[in-house]
C-alpha cells in the first residue's frame, strides 16, 4: 500500500471477495488470506455480527465480500463483512 500512496493515488475503499481462515484474537476477528503476510482485520458491515457468532471453529475457511479500507498509516487493512459464505 505504501507504493500506491507514494504514486499519489489514494483509494478510499475497494470492494473485494476474500477467502481465508477467520482467527479470533481477544475481541478482534481477522481473516488470514493466502499470499498476505498480515491478516485483514474484520470490522463492521451488514454480516459482521452473524460471522462473529458463527466463526467458532478454528481453521474453518470463509469467503468474505466487503469493502477494504486502506489506512493512512501502516496499520493493517480492514475489511467490512457485507456478505459471508462458508
pLDDT digits (tens, 9 = 90+) for 8-47: 766 666 899 999 999 988 889 999 999 888 999 999 999 9
Give the residue from 55, 82, 50, 48 showing the smallest Cα distance to 68: 82
Mean pLDDT of the chain: 86
Per the model's pLDDT, the better-predicted residue between 44 and 58 turns out to be 44
Containing 46, the helix (H) or strand (E) segment is: none
Per the model's pLDDT, the better-predicted residue between 68 and 2 turns out to be 68
Neighbouring CB atoms inside 10 A of 63's CB total: 13
Q: Number of folded domains in the chain?
A: 1
Rounded mean pLDDT, 1-6 = 65
CA distance 2 to 20: 23
User: What residue numbers bound the domain in which 73 lies?
Assistant: 2-85
Neighbouring CB atoms inside 10 A of 43's CB total: 15
State the pairing for strand pair 40-42/83-85. Answer: unpaired
Q: What pLDDT sits at residue 67?
A: 93
Q: What pLDDT sits at residue 78?
A: 92
CATH number at residue 45: 2.40.50.200
Give the residue from 86, 77, 57 showing the smallest Cα distance to 1: 77
Amino acid at each position: 500500500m505504501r507504493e500506491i500512496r507514494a504514486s499519489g493515488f489514494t483509494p478510499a475503499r475497494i470492494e473485494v471477495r476474500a477467502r481465508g481462515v477467520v482467527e479470533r484474537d481477544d475481541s478482534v476477528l481477522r481473516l488470514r488470506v493466502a499470499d498476505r503476510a498480515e491478516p485483514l482485520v474484520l470490522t463492521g458491515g451488514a454480516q459482521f455480527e452473524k460471522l462473529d457468532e458463527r466463526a467458532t471453529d478454528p481453521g474453518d475457511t470463509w469467503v468474505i465480500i466487503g469493502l477494504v479500507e486502506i489506512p493512512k498509516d501502516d496499520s493493517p487493512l480492514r475489511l467490512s463483512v457485507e456478505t459471508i459464505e462458508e
